[in-house]
A and B are shown apart, each in its own frame.
Chain A
Amino acid sequence: MKLPEAQVAVLEAASATEAQSTDRIAAETGLDPATATGAAFALDEAGLLAVSERAEASVTPTDEGREYAETELPEVRLHAAVREVGGEAALDSVLDRAGLDGPQVDVALSNYARKGYGEIESGNVTVDPDADPDDDPERTALATLVDGGIVDDESILDRLDRRDLIERRETTVRSVRLTDEGVTALMEGVEATERVGQLTPELLASGEWRDAAFAEYDVDADAERLDGGGIHPLRRTAERVTDVLVGMGFSEMEGPHADAEFWINDCLFMPQDHPARTHWDQFALSNPDRVDDLPDELVERVREAHREGVGEDGDGYHSPWSADVARGLSLRGHTTSLSARYLSGEAVGELEPPERFFSVEKVYRNDTLDATHLLEFFQIEGWVMAADLSVRDLMGTFTEFYAQFGITDLQFKPTYNPYTEPSFELFGEHPTTGELVEIGNSGLFRPEMLDPLGVDCDVMAWGLALERLLMLTHGFEDVRDVHGTLVDLQFLRDAEVIY
């Protein structure tokens, strides 16, 4: 007969004549008590073993009891010491020999006489020659209990209890005894089935897996922490914005990060003496510092718009304008430079309305680094070109876009941008806090921007910092945690995937 290893051990340890506690079986077999009990029940099920349960006062030796079972009861040690020196001795002299001190002395003395080991009188101890501590029932019972055996004699147990050598508790005691079938099985021979730790290709190929018993795992135990690869949360947000915009019919723009002032600012009808064009707001480059190659005709048209305005009733800026400033090279402060390149036909040729374009790309600003500002961040830029667009179309487009991110009830606050009119700051309710937060800036491009670029229809546009959207959707509080070389890997590893 083949049985699992633990069951074989329990079966072999059990006796047909004497009931043994499962604890004892466990001790004998070296099995974990729970495993031994489990095996015993399995054997009971198979009829090889009888498990009996008694709700019983269980008796457990105390620490003191265990100590005495090992080193002998104090009175026994006293008895032995006195006998060694001839059967009579002064108490003081014999305590050392018996290895007794402290409270054990009292224990020895009070039990010595009670058990009739001899007498103690006036500091003298004698031995009763008939007394035999080897037969001491307390000693025997204690040894049995420490050994995992069962003691039935209540009077002995009471005495041990009084001496605090045992603790009695109501517990379920399971004891096992071999059944006849068990005896037969043992006589016929019982083998342990093989326990398989790892399922191997060999087991599978040979078919041995059919007879294999798999070692049980502690499936509840912690597994090793694994940090797999992952897309950066900010990138994931950029991808989602891209998905939404592509779904709304927008095509992607791309273009230079370092670009001529002409494309970054002049085409946007930003006066050349506008405060935002100083180094306080943007990063001009010193090497290289200028772009020689600008489309001359367009430069002239843009200059004209700045100086004279556009249309019969248009006024220009009363600001100086020079092509030299326009040739200056800067890191773009907004991706509207891409919009200018596309609208002018410079990027992909002349566009025929209707068109929708977008980008989610880096921009650079000389801002103060803090929890909500970085020197470089992603700007979502989008625009729609069509024959006839109104502010209502602009509002409708944003309403649809932001709804994709759970931001509804948009508010439009009229504002001022040099290159759009009318212009709006967009406010939306924070999905979790309910706060009204600024989520973008928008407007219809001014004729002074569109006319020189050769666009003779309407274009509405908007911009938004991607990081701001990320902070809204993820509840992040410090943008520096998210973007840049100061990033904490743990933060990336723990970041929840928002889709």
Chain B
Amino acid sequence: MPVVDVDPDELRRLAGHEEKSEEDLLDDLFELGLEFEGETEAGELQLEFEADRLDRLSVEGIARSLRYQYGDDRGVYVPPTNAPEWTIAVDESVPEQRPYVTGAVVRGLDIDERGLDSLLQLQEKLHATMGRGRAKGAIGVHDLAMLKGQARKDGDANSIAYRGVEPNGDSFVPLDSDAELTPREVLTEHPTGDTYADLVAGYERYPAIYDDLGLFSFPPVINGRRTEVSPGSRELLIEMTGTDQWTIDRMCAILCYALSARGATIERVTVAYPDRELDRPDFAVGEKRVTHDRIERTLGVGFEKREVIDLLERSGLDASVEHDGDERDGLDGATGDASASADPTDAGDLTYAVSIPPYRVDVLHPVDVIDDVGRAHGFNELEPRYPAVGTVGGRGERSRHERAVRETLVGLGFQDLLNFHLTSGAEVFERMGLAPDDSASTPAGDPGAPGSPLGAAPPATIREPYSRAYTIVRTWALPSLLQVLEHNTHRSYPQDLAEVGLAARVDPETETGVAERRTVAAVLARTDASYEDAKARLRALARAFGAELETPPTEHPSFIEGRAASVMLDGERAGIVGELHPRVLVEHDLELPVAAFECRLDALR
């Protein structure tokens, strides 16, 4: 979850409550869902919050939410904007992978070092969240005073251009550099270029922004040094490029709201695509219609109409009654349990048209508006009730079967284990003496397939594993039990261990391509462990489930030759029983014999 560093004094100032103690402030923030994580060295609050309210990625946005919470502000606020004097002209040469741009001009800015840091933090957090690491949207902030733009044609505004540049085309001096570099040189020679090179990999032309003096920004990679913003900057040009117009417009709105909250004036820009013109930033207020009935049903309480409107306004939204289907206005009197009047006709068609400010990127559906009503009302104010819904519960058959087998094994003296399903090829193959070749052929390793060693199946394999120890899903369970024995050689013997768990193998015949099965595995590690010990227990287990056990001799690389048998349950090949090969024991640092068996759970029925 995102974490934002916030200067508490600035937050108090922007929220208009300089008197708030830190403790009160933190309580108020928790109410908003912002959790205090700690303090930075500079004494800033580190606040963690959920990734839906991206308008709270800055101190300005958090202050705005606090003002609504305190009731100091109500309803939708849209900052005033001035008419455009600048145009961003989109050239046909813009790379097709990144066709969209938006922007704004900011004037009358008065920020100090801290304000600038806050701006940069917001930019960075927007990149990390909505911008998907700059891939979907990247922000460039420039000192407008350093830009020189001419009108495209007479009577038109000043203009800059978004276009494509050949990799070895025009050069510019990027931030944190003294040298003039071409875009390709930036990607190979500049540390920032190196970091973001993947984002433009495969581009024939790179995105570039030009003014009259030339290339000054190479989105989404790096800006030029010429237009770098400093605390002395008073006027800014903001441009954002990306793969989706809506996304960059929302990012732009969030940034402009923050700058406006610092007293700056927002001036619109014209984004001129070859086929259309846009007036930006897009501060259009959205609308969702939500019925009174839906609010009451979801929250489980009755509200009066004015209460709902009040709660919405306190959430920074506006609401008007769009369609008051109930002329009696009876709802103003209706309180208490909504389920008592759950019939929608009771509520008529009372519907609110709710205005959504442009920074609220999280409101997709009327339910999101209902959530705001609930938050403003206080969810913890609601009385829990057990739903009066009758259903008959029960376990699944497989789960009952698994439990019964596990209980039988414990009755036979086994310690029940719970091992990871994730493991490595080394554990399930090499260390068990299974030749890796065995896993190549399909359908090898299926306990039901004659002549293939149990476990030697092609494993479901993780694409990008966490570590070499966890690269596949285990093909059989005995290797896990051997690992437990290996880690417990300092503990007293006998160690009789068993597990009922999952094993899987690649099988194109199944729905997912992975054949998952429940497997029953057991080991007896004791100074005199023998084949007979294992078979005796397996026989008891089979008998308990009414399955007839036969054990014709077989060969398996993990077992001693002549001391391994196929487990046949009711005539079906289901697994293996035998004494583990000394090679396998020594590999696991074991100094005593181990007898073992493993079979399919579903054969025990």
Q: Which residues of A contact B (CB under 8 A)?
A: 225, 227-232, 234-235, 239, 242, 245-254, 256-260, 273, 275, 279, 283-291, 293, 309-319, 329, 331, 354-356, 362, 364, 366, 369, 374-376, 384, 386, 388-393, 395-400, 410-416, 421-424, 444, 446-448, 482-490, 492-493
- Flag whether B200 is at the interface (Cβ < 8 A): no
Bound-complex Cα distance A235 to B409 (A): 14
- Collect the chain B residues with CB atoms within 8 Å of residue A374's CB: 420
Q: Are A289 and B463 neighbours in the complex by a CB distance under 8 Å?
A: yes
Q: Can you name 14 extra interface pairs (CB under 8 A) apart from A313-B287, A411-B380, A422-B379?
A: A229-B411, A253-B396, A257-B421, A284-B462, A285-B462, A289-B463, A291-B512, A331-B422, A391-B300, A391-B382, A396-B384, A396-B386, A483-B418, A483-B420
Contact flag A397-B386 (CB < 8 Å), given A235-B406, A273-B136, A483-B418: yes
Binds A, one of B106-114, B225-233, B491-499: B491-499
Q: Within the complex, what minimum Cβ distance (angstroms) separates A155 from chain B?
A: 64
Bound-complex Cα distance A279 to B466 (A): 9
- Collect the chain B residues with CB atoms within 8 Å of residue A232's CB: 415-418
Q: Which of B441-461 contact A (CB under 8 A)?
A: 458-461
Q: Which residue of A227, A239, A398 is within 8 Å of B403 (Cβ)?
A: A239
- Flag whether B367 is at the interface (Cβ < 8 A): yes
17 contacts between A and B (CB under 8 A): A229-B409, A231-B406, A231-B407, A232-B415, A275-B132, A283-B466, A288-B514, A374-B420, A376-B420, A390-B300, A391-B300, A393-B385, A410-B384, A414-B33, A415-B33, A483-B418, A488-B491
Bound-complex Cα distance A39 to B463 (A): 81
Bound-complex Cα distance A413 to B371 (A): 12
Q: Are A230 and B460 neighbours in the complex by a CB distance under 8 Å?
A: no
- Collect the chain A residues with CB atoms within 8 Å of residue B387's CB: 384, 386, 389, 393, 396-397
Q: Are A421 and B368 neighbours in the complex by a CB distance under 8 Å?
A: yes
Q: Which of B483-535 contact A (CB under 8 A)?
A: 483-484, 487-488, 491-492, 495-498, 502, 504, 506, 508, 511-514, 516
List 5 A-B pairs, minimum CB-CB distance, nearest first. Answer: A390-B300, A288-B513, A392-B300, A395-B384, A416-B50
- Flag whether B116 is at the interface (Cβ < 8 A): no
- Collect the chain B residues with CB atoms within 8 Å of residue A484's CB: 418-420
- Collect the chain B residues with CB atoms within 8 Å of residue A291's CB: 511-513
- Collect the chain B residues with CB atoms within 8 Å of residue A246's CB: 393-395
- Collect the chain B residues with CB atoms within 8 Å of residue A227's CB: 415, 492
- Collect the chain B residues with CB atoms within 8 Å of residue A231's CB: 406-407, 410, 416
Bound-complex Cα distance A57 to B392 (A): 84
- Which of A312, A329, A485 gathers the greatest number of chain B CB atoms within 10 Å? A485
Q: Within the complex, what minimum Cβ distance (angstroms) separates A266 from chain B?
A: 15
Bound-complex Cα distance A436 to B474 (A): 38
Q: Are A416 and B504 neighbours in the complex by a CB distance under 8 Å?
A: no
Bound-complex Cα distance A89 to B489 (A): 74
Q: Within the complex, what minimum Cβ distance (angstroms) separates A459 from chain B?
A: 12
- Collect the chain A residues with CB atoms within 8 Å of residue B564's CB: none
Bound-complex Cα distance A490 to B491 (A): 7
Contact flag A287-B461 (CB < 8 Å), given A386-B389, A391-B374: yes
- Collect the chain B residues with CB atoms within 8 Å of residue A257's CB: 421, 473, 502, 504, 514, 516
Bound-complex Cα distance A314 to B368 (A): 10
Contact with A along B360-389 (1 / 0, CB 8 A): 001111111011001100011011111101
Q: Are B365 and A311 neighbours in the complex by a CB distance under 8 Å?
A: yes
Bound-complex Cα distance A28 to B363 (A): 100
Q: Are A252 and B460 neighbours in the complex by a CB distance under 8 Å?
A: no
- Collect the chain A residues with CB atoms within 8 Å of residue B435's CB: none
- Which of A250, A288, A309 gathers the greatest number of chain B CB atoms within 10 Å? A288
Bound-complex Cα distance A446 to B298 (A): 12
Q: Are B419 and A485 neighbours in the complex by a CB distance under 8 Å?
A: yes
Q: Are B421 and A422 neighbours in the complex by a CB distance under 8 Å?
A: no
Bound-complex Cα distance A487 to B491 (A): 12
Q: Within the complex, what minimum Cβ distance (angstroms) separates B605 from chain A?
A: 16
Bound-complex Cα distance A397 to B419 (A): 32
Q: Are A288 and B297 neighbours in the complex by a CB distance under 8 Å?
A: no
CB-CB nearest in chain A for B371: A422
Q: Are B462 and A390 neighbours in the complex by a CB distance under 8 Å?
A: no
Bound-complex Cα distance A249 to B399 (A): 16
Q: Which residues of B contact A (CB under 8 A)?
A: 33, 50-53, 132, 136, 244, 246-247, 287-290, 297-301, 338-339, 342, 362-368, 370-371, 374-375, 379-380, 382-387, 389-396, 398-399, 403, 406-407, 409-423, 458-466, 470, 473, 480, 483-484, 487-488, 491-492, 495-498, 502, 504, 506, 508, 511-514, 516
Bound-complex Cα distance A34 to B95 (A): 103
Bound-complex Cα distance A388 to B347 (A): 15
Q: Which residue of A245, A315, A390, A414 is within 8 Å of B371 (Cβ)?
A: A414
Bound-complex Cα distance A414 to B53 (A): 12
Contact flag A309-B298 (CB < 8 Å), given A354-B389, A486-B487: no
Bound-complex Cα distance A295 to B238 (A): 45
CB-CB nearest in chain A for B250: A318
Q: Are B422 and A414 neighbours in the complex by a CB distance under 8 Å?
A: no
Q: Within the complex, what minimum Cβ distance (angstroms) separates A465 from chain B?
A: 14
Q: Within the complex, what minimum Cβ distance (angstroms) separates B7 from chain A?
A: 25
CB-CB nearest in chain A for B246: A318
Q: Within the complex, what minimum Cβ distance (angstroms) separates B337 from chain A?
A: 9
Q: Within the complex, what minimum Cβ distance (angstroms) separates B497 from chain A?
A: 8
- Collect the chain B residues with CB atoms within 8 Å of residue A288's CB: 460, 506, 508, 512-514
CB-CB nearest in chain A for B412: A229
Q: Which residue of B247, B367, B384, B511 is within 8 Å of A293 (Cβ)?
A: B511
Q: Which residue of B393, B414, B487 is within 8 Å of A249 (Cβ)?
A: B393
- Collect the chain A residues with CB atoms within 8 Å of residue B362's CB: 416
- Which of B247, B368, B389, B410 gathers the greatest number of chain A CB atoms within 10 Å? B389
Q: Within the complex, what minimum Cβ distance (angstroms) separates B12 from chain A?
A: 24
Q: Within the complex, what minimum Cβ distance (angstroms) separates B292 from chain A?
A: 14
Q: Are A284 and B496 neighbours in the complex by a CB distance under 8 Å?
A: no
Q: Are A489 and B365 neighbours in the complex by a CB distance under 8 Å?
A: no
Bound-complex Cα distance A304 to B50 (A): 26
- Collect the chain A residues with CB atoms within 8 Å of residue B502's CB: 257, 362
Bound-complex Cα distance A492 to B487 (A): 13
Contact flag A283-B418 (CB < 8 Å), given A256-B512, A329-B513, A391-B298: no
- Collect the chain A residues with CB atoms within 8 Å of residue B370's CB: 421-422
Q: Are A258 and B247 neighbours in the complex by a CB distance under 8 Å?
A: no
- Collect the chain B residues with CB atoms within 8 Å of residue A279's CB: 463-464
Q: Within the complex, what minimum Cβ distance (angstroms) separates B359 from chain A?
A: 15
Bound-complex Cα distance A492 to B484 (A): 12
Q: Within the complex, what minimum Cβ distance (angstroms) separates B110 from chain A?
A: 34
- Collect the chain A residues with CB atoms within 8 Å of residue B473's CB: 257-258, 331
Q: Which residue of A275, A311, A364 is within 8 Å of B366 (Cβ)?
A: A311
- Which of A234, A285, A389 gathers the greatest number of chain B CB atoms within 10 Å? A285
- Collect the chain B residues with CB atoms within 8 Å of residue A492's CB: 415, 417
Q: Are B367 and A252 neighbours in the complex by a CB distance under 8 Å?
A: no
Q: Within the complex, what minimum Cβ distance (angstroms) separates B589 from chain A?
A: 14
Q: Are A314 and B365 neighbours in the complex by a CB distance under 8 Å?
A: yes
- Collect the chain A residues with CB atoms within 8 Å of residue B53's CB: 416
- Collect the chain A residues with CB atoms within 8 Å of residue B466's CB: 283, 366, 369, 375
Q: Within the complex, what minimum Cβ distance (angstroms) separates A135 from chain B?
A: 65
Bound-complex Cα distance A422 to B422 (A): 35
CB-CB nearest in chain B for A234: B418
Bound-complex Cα distance A285 to B502 (A): 17
Bound-complex Cα distance A311 to B363 (A): 13
Bound-complex Cα distance A311 to B50 (A): 25
Q: Are B380 and A412 neighbours in the complex by a CB distance under 8 Å?
A: yes
Q: Are B379 and A391 neighbours in the complex by a CB distance under 8 Å?
A: yes
Q: Are B301 and A392 neighbours in the complex by a CB distance under 8 Å?
A: yes
- Collect the chain B residues with CB atoms within 8 Å of residue A259's CB: 512
Contact flag A286-B463 (CB < 8 Å), given A235-B418, A362-B502: yes
Contact flag A313-B393 (CB < 8 Å), given A288-B513, A390-B298: no
Q: Are A256 and B516 neighbours in the complex by a CB distance under 8 Å?
A: yes
Q: Are A258 and B465 neighbours in the complex by a CB distance under 8 Å?
A: no
Q: Within the complex, what minimum Cβ distance (angstroms) separates B389 from chain A?
A: 4
- Collect the chain A residues with CB atoms within 8 Å of residue B492's CB: 225, 227
